[in-house]
Amino acid sequence: MIEEIVGELLQREIRDPRVAGMTSVTRVEVTPDVRYAKIFVSVMGSEEERLATMRALDHATGFVRSKLGEELTIRHIPAVTFQLDRSIEEGDRVLALINEMASANSATVAPPVTAPLAPPGESPAASNEAPSRPDSPSPDGLRRMVRGAARPLKARRSPRQAE
């Protein structure tokens, strides 16, 4: 709930010009006693924009906490701290490296695998059996797989339903 509320506040109600337009809540960690909430935010932009956004969010903690108090129906409203989350940037960096490696490896593509040749004197079309692959299941194995997939799943009961 806190993640949704704070995300909504970032998009609609926090009007501080220091908050970058591409700021989003990635996750929220709350202590077991709900006294403290650490809100992780991702800020797309330069390092300067990130620092300005984090200062603005730290300045807006009172406002965020008051809005949480209006929306949540809990006894204690958690003290809020904002933490910069760089996981999206790291993911972008890893994807760029993967794409770079893939483009470098595309020049050295392995030749396609060819079908095995028929024994001498026999044409491939003369054989009645389809060529078998070592990793393909047998017809009996396929039947077992299909039968197993046709079974209905048992409904799991949550602990609340068991009471």
Reading the chain (163 residues) residue by residue, the pLDDT tens digits are: 999 999 888 888 888 878 877 888 999 999 999 899 999 999 888 889 999 999 999 999 999 999 999 988 888 899 999 999 988 888 888 999 999 888 888 766 555 666 565 566 665 555 455 555 555 555 555 555 544 444 444 555 555 555 5
Q: Taking Cα atoms as reference points, which of 80, 97, 76, 73 lies closest to residue 41? A: 80
CATH classification at residue 28: 3.30.300.20
What total number of domains does the chain contain? Answer: 1
Rounded distance, CA 29 to CA 11, Å? 20
Q: Identify whether 25 is part of a domain.
A: yes
Q: Identify whether 155 is part of a domain.
A: no
Q: Which residues constitute the domain of residue 66? A: 2-90
Residue count of the chain: 163
